[in-house]
Structure 1
């Protein structure tokens, strides 16, 4: 079982060595037919957003070159690659979480009743 902590960050699901293995596990747990993962999925018409700016500031040149090469392969396969700026969003998130993390704020809401009792039960932050 799992106990909720952060509605926007909690994620329950399989952990595996590959995306394909996770897809199989997810289908089995949902009592759905296992998808035919050996078939390539078409990328035509898919839009892939790349968050340029702050997330790439400290990227090593070798990594950046390999990343751009992969993006070229994605485009040649039919997807449309679009550079996106998320710097303003990141700045807003930094400002919003200056005093506390999202997980701690949401966790305080989830546990508000228990916290209000003043009970001294050890909690692993």
Structure 2
């Protein structure tokens, strides 16, 4: 089922559907796996705790995007989920330091696309 797929990272990529809602993704995933789509069981939002990363990840976010994101976060909270702000700036700094010389995805991408990159095609 990889016909037409253009890989980036062999260990980190996965192919899956993008859809407007979870139900459509579940149906599409089942069809791609040659399985019978199963009925989804609803999950109570009151049982969920959703962590929202704050800080450096949003430093360069456009105002309109940030407003839309915050509206969604508010809506999830109003629907019953427990929303918790999380500070992950230290983690982001450590990840950036650890990947200063490259990431698994960039190294694998260079290998997968070596011939294409060498051809100068665009």
* TM-score bucket (shorter structure): 0.5 to 0.7
Q: How does 1:54-73 map to 2 (within 5 A)?
A: 54-73=56-75
Normalised to the residue count of structure 2, the TM-score between the two structures is 0.67
How far residue 59 of structure 1 moved from its aligned partner, in angstroms, is: 2.5
Runs (5+) with no aligned partner, structure 2: 118-122
Of 98, 101, 123, which aligns to 2:115? 123
Runs (5+) with no aligned partner, structure 1: 112-121
Normalised to the residue count of structure 1, the TM-score between the two structures is 0.66
How far residue 52 of structure 1 moved from its aligned partner, in angstroms, is: 0.6
CA RMSD in angstroms, aligned pairs only = 3.0
Deviations 1:34-81 (A, max 9, x none): 2446x8643121111111111111233343333222212111211111
Point out the structure with the larger helix share. 2
Deviations 1:74-110 (A, max 9, x none): 11211111111221221122112211232134x29x9
Asked whether the equivalents of residues 8 and 105 of structure 2 are also in contact (C-alpha less than 8 Å), the reply is no
Residues matched between the structures, number? 110
